[in-house]
Every structure is written in structure tokens, then in C-alpha cells.
Structure 1
Amino acid sequence: MNKVTLIILALILVAVGVFYARTSNKSSGQDQENKTSIPFLNNNSQDSSDNVNTENIPKTTVIATGLDTPWAIAFLPDGGVLITERKGTVRLINSSGDLLPNPIAEIECVKEIGEGGLQGIALHPDFPSNYFVYLYYTYSESGGNTLNKVVRMTYRNQKLSDEKVIVNAIPGAANHDGGRIKFGPDKMLYITTGDAQNPSNAQDTDSLSGKILRVTYEGNPAAGNPFRNRVYSYGHRNPQGISWDANGTLWETEHGPSGLETGNDEFNRIEIGKNYGWPEIRGKETREGMVTPIIESGRSDTWAPAGLAYINGKFYFGGLRGQALYRVTLSGNSAELETFFKGEFGRLREVIAGPDNMLYITTSNRDGRGDPESDDDKVIRVNPEKL
């Protein structure tokens, strides 16, 4: 083989190498563009939400589809996500971002009736050592009465088991069951309960309905409660969202009346022992000894507010009938309300801040009151910095 031939072969090999390198890089780039990445943070890592580069995160990302009326979300330390479905199942998005095809729990005694069913979920503050998960759901007694309870289960090997009752016999009904549970900065468990379609119970401090309850890990009345029982605040119609601001102040979203007198949904600052007025007052009405909301929707609008989250000095809550995400910015005694995604995703229920400082919201289009698309219901991640 002469020298000229060798040079020609060398040039051919170089050209082929460059071609394959470019082809490989192009293919790799396309794969990166088409791949949906869900970079959940490990809660036990040294990463913090302050270090997340939000510029690289889209305004919205659908991270799960095909759910059946999801109600609440809890984030696991390994980056996974637990989701309750109202029919009585708990679903898992694993740390890789994949929704497992089968539920990790099916609670047979859940009574899905109207607005009732499996609702709230919360992890014990010491979850990394005890693996306790708390759930709120509707059930029936042997006599057929509809009630609600809070239970505790243990999470092992992607399964929930060993149910223990924490609070039971919370009055229930087809509507107005409350259902949100969260641990507060004081490590006590806060529970929202509806009036169970019996408005007078909301004013009775001996009744568990129409209240925000505050209990210990075992369900006992928390020390310092105002009435020496589980009641923390009262006079509520159907509270479905609670969250704390940076100062540790508790805030709440609450459904106002429906039907012919629809409207007057509320956003409240919650104080221990206070009476929030239902059914004696509504909207901007006032009465001595009762609290008027910071914001209310008026009678010409309806939010049907659900989950409530606090991120970077602002509150966000979902609207079921309002079919929107709402943002509240407080300034002294005034508040500004903004609306996002009006009608874009349908009914929105859960709104919660993730460990990555993003908002996670669930649609509720399969709850019998929505217009579901083929891939509903969904979990959607929202970048609040891009709203």
C-alpha cells in the first residue's frame, strides 16, 4: 500500500469519525430535550430549596396523569411523593419520578360519598425514624352514620400497614367534611373539619365539626388548647386549606355557602380560641366576638378554595369551582389577590410547597363536578417565580 493510499484512508476515517460524533451528539441532545426530568430534592441531603436554580424549571410540568380524584400530597425523605385518592387508595411517585401502576394502600373501610372519602395525608415530624403516616377519611359506623377519622399507618417497603385510630367519630356527611391535616411548627397535628351539613355544630365548642382541631401525635388534646379539648378554633363551615407563614402564623381557606346563596369563600388568619362566625355571619359581616376574613370572594364570585401553601412571602390556594390558582400577597392589613390558569387545568384542589420550593397542585376533574380530559386527574408542578 503506497503513501498516497494511506493518506486517503486516514482522511476517510477522520471524516467518518466526525460524522458519527456529530450524529451521536445530536441524538443525545434530542434525548435530553424530550426527556421529562423531575429533580425532587432529597429532604435529608445538604441541598436546600434556596439553592434551586428556578430559571431552568418550566412554568408548569405535568408529573403524573391518570389519577382518580387525588386529594392531598406528602413528600417522602427519599424524594418520592404520596398521593391520596378519594376512593380510598394511596399512590406513590417514586424517587425517579415514576407513578407506580398500583396503589401502595387500599383502605377498604373508606366511604366515598359526595365530597367524603380518603382526604388528607401528613408525615410524622420524625418520619425518618418511625415511618408514621397520618390519613383523614370518611367511614360509616355499624348503624350507618357517616363519620370521619384520623388514623396513623406505617410506611415500609412501599406499602402502608398497621392502622391505628388517632381521632374518630368526627361528624361527617355527603358534604362539608373538611379533611386537611398538617403538622404545625409546634409539631402538633392540625385537622380541619367541616360542619357536616349541620351549621349549628360549628358554634358548639364541644362538637368536633366545623373546627380546626389541634392534637398530639396520639390524638390527645394539645396542651394550651383553649377549651381543654381538641378544639383550636371554631365557627368554620368547610375549611380545606391550612398553612403557616414565616412567622408561624396559621392561615386557612374556607368554603362559603353554595346553592342560591353561593359565594363568600374565605381566607382567614387563624388565632387560638377565636370564633370565625359560621353560620351567624358571612362575608364582610361583623359581630362582636367573631372574626371577619382577611379576604372573601363576595357573592358574585366563587373560589371553592382548597389546598393552601406559603412560599417566599406569598400564599397560594387552589380553586375547585373557580378552576384557578390564586395568589395572596399581604401588606399590613390589606391583601392583593391574583388569579392564574383560569380554566386551563379545570378544578384544582391540593396546593402544597415541595422541598424544591416549587408548588405541586392536583386537579379534581373526576370528582363528579368537573369535565375530565382523557389523562385526568393530574399532578402538576408549578414554578411560582414564573407566574
Structure 2
Amino acid sequence: MSRLAYSALHRARLGTAALTAVAAVMAVGLSGPPSTAAEPAALPRAGGAPSSISTLNRTLTTPWGISFLRGRKAALVTERDTAVVWKIALDGAKKKVGTVPNAVWSEQTQDKGGLLGVAVSPTWNGTSDKDVFFMETTRTDNRVVRMRFDGSRLSGYSPVLTGIVRDTQHNGGKIAFGPDGYLYVATGDAQKGELAQDKKSLNGKILRITKSGAAAPGNPFGTRVYSYGHRNPQGLAWDRAGRLWSTEIGAEAWDELNLVKPGRNYGWPACEGACSRAGMTNPKMVWKPDEGGVPAQVAVVNNVIYASTLSGHRLWRIPIDATGQDVGPATAYYNGTYGRLRALAKVPGADQLWLGTSDRGTAKDLLLKVTIK
């Protein structure tokens, strides 16, 4: 399958409740990034906007996940195609620390298999707690695995959650520890839409699990499932009030930004975008995939959401409104400058983002630093 054909597959949802946000996205998406980002007075102004961007490293191969090491001024970065894990310092210097066994990627998977997300234990210190978690596509399934990292190299390999249906598309892949200390896992529907509505399935879900892979206490159905009705969610991030936001790659018309709440049904495949069907939760914003969409990952800086995009080739700035339940007009940055953008994470203790390009070729992808002011 060509990349053009692949891009055509990544479409998502339309709905009347999101028309205002769509209009805002369309307006900026077609014109590219403005020099300044004006906001209505009702929106929080503390978030600032991207003020500069620089290249930290230019020798990566399709970076997929970024997770910072507690207290070490460095992050672990995964490469989708090679299964290599790099330790990258704040100045961009990188060191190979190992590979994750069993991760499988090939051209036929068209961007969806291989080594995907990474999440460092929130209490990691390299001694008493060495836990690092990865999500990978193997020859038989998608799975979450635990490895040990002492600050210099990876060791061990223990699957903690297996049996997530894999496919050549829609594998999800983002994992992240929430403010509650539990691990959240974004899974795709594996091109089997019915799985997203099946609450007994692990697919088409956002899962919430313990470090051992068990259902986290307080989950809405008493299982690992936190929310369902997702097609291909790939971004997870929390705002300063602890609310979970997720980006989702859709089917034909629209891609989504969702405010994720426990037990909610986000509609796929019954609804595309916002709909009036009882029991469905509508997205907070949608994108046209050919006009700035196909969102990959999200990060939050001072209650402003930032979303990287693949086909969109840009970084979106999306302010959360004063209620915390909706978003204001979106603004696009770096439109077409760096190509496909995917890996995204906030730098702890700084108003900065790390942003990775994708699919530029072997050892040609960039790791960028975006400063927010």
C-alpha cells in the first residue's frame, strides 16, 4: 500500500456539536501558522504559544514514543521500525540502551506495527524501581511489556498484558502513567469495528491497569476497560486538573480530540464524530484529515493542548477553555516545515515540548525542542 493510499485511510468524524471547532480548525489549517495566536478573553492566557523551535537530534529512525526519566534530565525514546530504545539527554546526545524483544514491523504494516509507546514508572530511580513499560506489536498480538532500566541499559522482558488483537492498521500504541499512578493504554480496533463496542474486548479502548497488568481499582466495569468506542487512539495527556485528553485517527471524514471520562462510549463505529445517538460521547474537536488532520500524539503545557499530526504536517495549539470541559479556537504551527510529526511529550519542569518527525528515512528523523512562551 502506498503512503498516499495509507493517508487516505486515516479519516475521522463529523458532528454538529463540533462545528464551531471545525470552523476554527479549517480557518487556520488552510492558511498555515500565524505569527501570533490571539485568544478570546474568556480563555486562559497563561499557556502562551510556541516561540522558538530547535533541533536536538537529527539521526533517529521513526521515533514513536518519548518518556522522561525521573530526575535524570533525559528521556527514553523508542524507534518503531528498529525496536531500538535510546536514552536522549536534554542537549540531544543519544545513547542506545537496548532493544525490545519481539517487536515486529514491516512495510506492509504501513506505520502501525513495531515498537510503539514507552512509559517510565513514575517512581523510577534506577535502583529500587527500575520499571519501564513498552507497547509493541508482535507476530501474534499487541502487548504491554515490562523491562528493567538501571540508567544505562535495558534488561529483562516480562509481558504484563497480552492478547490485544493486532492488524496491519489500527493498533493504537500510546501508553502513559496518569496522575493516579496507573498505566493507561490506548488500543485500536484492529480494523474490526465491532471490537470497539465489545466491552469484553481489549481493542478499541483506553485501558487502565496496574503495573502487573491487572484491572486498576475503580475502573467503571470492574475490568481493564476505562473507555470504549475508539477507532485508533494514539495520544494521551492530562491537563492541570487531571482531565484526560486523547487524539484519535478516524475513518473517512474527520479525526478527533476527545475528553475521556470513565465508562463513556465514544461512538465508533456507530457514530462518526458527534451524533445524537443515546449513550454516545461526542468529541471536543474534529479535523479534516486532508486539511491539517490525522493527529498522532498530545501534550499539555499550562492547560493548552498541543497535538502533532501525520498527514497534517503541523503542530496544533488548542487552548482548554475556562470550564475545562471544552476547547477554544485551534492554531497551527510549522505547517509543512518538518513533514510528518508524531512523538510528542512535555519536558518536566519546563514550558517545552519534545517533538519527533516520522518516516523521513533511516537515521534521518529529527527530535525537535519547542519552547512555549
Q: TM-score range by the shorter chain?
A: 0.7 to 0.9
* SS of structure 2 residue aligned to 1:200: helix
Q: Is the 1:189–1:217 Cα contact (8 Å) retained in structure 2?
A: yes
**Higher mean C-alpha displacement, 324-333 vs 227-236:** 324-333
2:165 and 2:90 mapped to 1: Cα distance? 37
Which AA in structure 1 matches 2:122?
P
Q: C-alpha displacement at 1:285, in angstroms?
A: 2.4
1:303 pairs with one of 285, 293, 308: 293
The whole-number CA distance in structure 2 between the counterparts of 1:178 and 1:271 is 18
Kindly state the Cα deviation for residue 107 of structure 1 after the two structures are TM-superposed. Answer: 2.6
Q: What value does the CA root-mean-square deviation take over the aligned residues?
A: 2.0
Which residue identity is paired with 1:228? G
1:117 aligns with 2:117: no
* Residue aligning to 2:161: 167
Provide runs of 4+ in structure 1 moved above 6 Å. none
Q: Tell me which amino acid in the other structure corresponds to 1:234.
A: Y
Aligned to 1:247: 241
**Cα separation, 1, equivalents of 2:280 and 2:154:** 41
Q: Post-superposition shift, 1:70?
A: 0.5
Aligned residue type for 1:268 = N
Tell me the equivalent position of 2:17. Answer: none
Q: Give the drift of 1:163.
A: 1.0
8 Å CA contact 1:284, 1:296 repeated in 2: no
Instruction: Give the distance between the partners of 1:97 and 1:159, measured in 2 at CA.
Output: 18
Specify which structure has the higher proportion of helix: 1
1:115-194 equivalence runs, <5 A: 115-128=112-125, 129-141=128-140, 147-194=141-188
Return 286-295 or 333-342, whichever deviates more. Answer: 333-342
- Aligned pairs for 1:28-107 (under 5 A) are 59-76=52-69, 77-87=71-81, 88-94=83-89, 97-100=92-95, 103-107=96-100
Distance 1:329 1:58 in 2: 16
Q: Relative to 1, partners in 2 of residues 1:299 and 1:95: Cα closer, same or farther, differing over 3 Å?
A: closer
Question: 1:161: how far off?
Answer: 0.7
- After superposition, give the CA deviation of every residue in 1:285-329 in whole Å (9 maximum; x if it has no partner): 231100110101147635111111010120001000100000111
Q: Distance in 1 between matches of 2:243 and 2:204?
A: 20
1:154–1:160 CA contact under 8 A, matched in 2: yes
Structure 1 residues 139, 224: closer, same or farther in 2, change over 3 A? same
| Distance (whole Å) between structure 2 residues aligned to residue 86 and residue 279 of structure 1 | 27
For 1:78 and 1:105, locate their aligned partners in 2 and report how far apart those are by CA, in whole Å: 18
Given the alignment of the two structures, is residue 282 of structure 1 paired with residue 299 of structure 2, yes or no? no
How far does residue 106 in structure 1 lie from its aligned partner after superposition? 2.0
With normalisation by structure 1, the TM-score equals 0.77
State the TM-score, normalizing by the size of structure 2: 0.80
Alignment of 1:305-384 (within 5 A): 305-331=295-321, 332=323, 333-355=326-348, 356-366=350-360, 376-384=364-372
Partner SS, residue 335 of structure 1? coil
Q: Distance in 1 between matches of 2:92 and 2:312?
A: 29
Q: Which has the higher contact order (CA 8 A, sep 6+)?
A: 2
Alpha-carbon spacing, 1:163–1:299, altered in 2? closer, same or farther (3 Å): closer
Post-superposition offset of 1:195: 0.3
Which moves more between the two structures, 228-237 or 284-293?
284-293
Unaligned runs of 5+ in 2: 1-47
Structure 1 residues 300, 85: closer, same or farther in 2, change over 3 A?
closer
Larger Rg: 1
Is the counterpart of residue 205 in structure 1 residue 204 in structure 2? no
**Code of the aligned partner of 1:310:** V
Q: Which residue of 1 aligns with 2:220?
A: 226
Write the deviation string for residues 54-111 of structure 1: whole angstroms up to 9, x where unpaired.
99x97111001111110011112211221100021111224664123xx311234111
In structure 1, how many angstroms separate the alpha carbons of the residues matched to 2:238 and 2:188? Answer: 20
Flag structure 1 segments of 5+ consecutive residues without an equivalent.
Answer: 1-53, 142-146, 367-371
Structure 1 counterpart of 2:259, one-letter code:
R
**Equivalent residue of 2:119, what SS?**
strand
Instruction: Label 1:226 to 1:58 Cα distance change in 2 as closer, same or farther (>3 A).
Output: closer
Structure 2 distance, partners of 1:107, 1:177, is 17
Task: State the one-letter code of the partner of 1:105.
Answer: G
Q: Is the 8 A contact 1:136 1:181 kept in 2?
A: yes
